[in-house]
Structure 1
């Protein structure tokens, strides 16, 4: 039986639901082009600030047995760099699916400035506003401040009329799922992305009796297998609470086709791969696509819509 991974998202059709997580293999145009030429269904740019940022001192990313720990500090080439890539791609690959452009301001004002720049441009893809920047010293995650989140979205939708999604940190309490969903449901969002890394973990090298990353005295965001149960919980929590028009992108702990199947079963529409992409390179998308098709074939599913969101409870 043929297995079709075609995915419809924001009015566009993608050959499969896989893409990179913002921050991984998307810093430079060369990396973005490698993604574009891979088996990924789509790609997203590095979260961009108004101007170039060097990020935190190294080492700031370390692979650990069940995933990764990082405190990157939003290194990026600046919004103009990624906007130029996106517009050049639109002009040269007019028949291709659109890409996602990620922006992350360091303040309410900068977030709105970045969105205004996208709004005033010819960019016709999908924009992601990163409300989860846990790795900037001294700055709280915006999405943990519900009042500020509502202020940003209220002001943004006064002028922004292109497809817009938000990237969220993980939430851990039903009351927080409820409160955030209540806010998000007030706006014409295209999607939410669950989750960014689980913030402020600590990994220790016993031999050296030391932390393994330099910023923040070793505290950093966890990714990979460590975070999959939390990611799945957030995907499910928001899938069951948000308006049906707001889709969910599942991010966190996708290492195999079975992991991808779990995210889709919880209700995700697109899937982003971070830690494992960092370790394996863009060839991972060919493997994940094949493995997901095998899982679906075993279960007798011919399309993702046959099972998306249909997680059983006991």
Structure 2
């Protein structure tokens, strides 16, 4: 029998595939659809202290090889997601859920995590350090000193299970520097990667950009980013303390893509653009395709091949 089960922080999951924060997770209806699907779990939209409408539309556009978006963190506010997850947790006491949150400074991050702690939430929190689509706000994940300061402050105030969502890095020295910072803290996992920030897609017939915010600049997802995502997953797998697990995100639309993320060291994967295009039925298809690949290679469980990428000698 082939098993796609996995665990994060000793929490067991029947499957290794779930949604990426920002996709199919805006409200109760979408989250329930993911929960009823073949997905291992769900992560909520990144909740802020107050609800946000996000950027003006059109702010998402699908392309032949992925997508471009500049959503601007539209969300219902962290308390909305905490209330919902608490309710669904009572119905599924053996299931672990993820709540994502993001502040616009370290004080807000601490306040958000205080709300999580006070709510009695027993799942895993994902702190988003990598939103590239809020006008006037830089990506925190590219300011290494700030990341260090945020994590230091956060772990002085918060004792729950915490992972961080990271932007993609493109230089070997940046993998080294960021891993050195991350290894200082009792992180549950890192989620790598968020979209590649500030790409530009053009409708050449109209000679015009395809999304409104930021004059068309937006985060790139889908096929475009898979090689970058795999590189980031494997680079951090090589450098992080084994206690810090990795969730791989980026360019997953087939079982082969899931397999490659796990081969590079991911313990779990998240699906964004393919979920947006296909809906929650994507999880059953991806799981079946992954099982077929594992069966053909004689693998019974993820640990049989996780992180075992081979190099050319």
TM class, shorter-length: over 0.9
Provide, for residues 122-178 of structure 1, a one-character-per-residue CA deviation record: whole Å limited to 9, x for no partner: 100000000001000010000101111111100110121110000000000011100
The structural deviation recorded for 1:92 is: 2.5
- Residue of structure 1 equivalent to 2:139: 141
- Residue of structure 2 equivalent to 1:241: 239
Deviates more, 1:112-121 or 1:272-281: 112-121
DSSP 3-state at the match of 1:158: helix
DSSP 3-state at the match of 2:179: helix
Query: Aligned partners of 1:247 and 1:93: how far apart in 2?
Result: 24
Deviates more, 1:109-118 or 1:24-33: 109-118
The structural deviation recorded for 1:10 is: 1.3
- Residue of structure 2 equivalent to 1:37: 36
TM-score of the aligned structures, taking structure 1 as reference length: 0.98
Query: Aligned partners of 2:301 and 2:55: how far apart in 1?
Result: 43
- Residue of structure 2 equivalent to 1:104: 102
DSSP 3-state at the match of 2:239: coil
- 1:288 corresponds, among 280, 286, 289, to 286
The structural deviation recorded for 1:90 is: 2.0
1:6-25 equivalence runs, <5 A? 6-25=5-24
- 1:122 corresponds, among 117, 120, 123, to 120
Counterpart check, 1:79 vs 2:78? yes
- Residue of structure 2 equivalent to 1:273: 271
Provide, for residues 81-102 of structure 1, a one-character-per-residue CA deviation record: whole Å limited to 9, x for no partner: 001001111223223x110000
Contact 2:59–2:212 at 8 Å: present in 1 too?
yes
- Residue of structure 1 equivalent to 2:53: 54
Query: Aligned partners of 2:98 and 2:195: how far apart in 1?
Result: 19
Counterpart check, 1:153 vs 2:151? yes
Query: Aligned partners of 2:154 and 2:53: how far apart in 1?
Result: 27
Query: Aligned partners of 2:292 and 2:93: how far apart in 1?
Result: 32
- Residue of structure 2 equivalent to 1:212: 210
- Residue of structure 1 equivalent to 2:195: 197
Contact 2:31–2:44 at 8 Å: present in 1 too?
yes
**Can you give the 5+ residue segments of structure 1 that lack an aligned partner in the other structure?**
none
- Residue of structure 2 equivalent to 1:70: 69
DSSP 3-state at the match of 1:295: helix
Query: Aligned partners of 1:113 and 1:122: how far apart in 2?
Result: 15
TM-score of the aligned structures, taking structure 2 as reference length: 0.99
Aligned residues: 312
Query: Aligned partners of 2:73 and 2:104: how far apart in 1?
Result: 10
Query: Aligned partners of 1:270 and 1:115: how far apart in 2?
Result: 23
Provide, for residues 286-312 of structure 1, a one-character-per-residue CA deviation record: whole Å limited to 9, x for no partner: 000000000111111111100000000
DSSP 3-state at the match of 1:88: helix
Contact 2:24–2:31 at 8 Å: present in 1 too?
yes
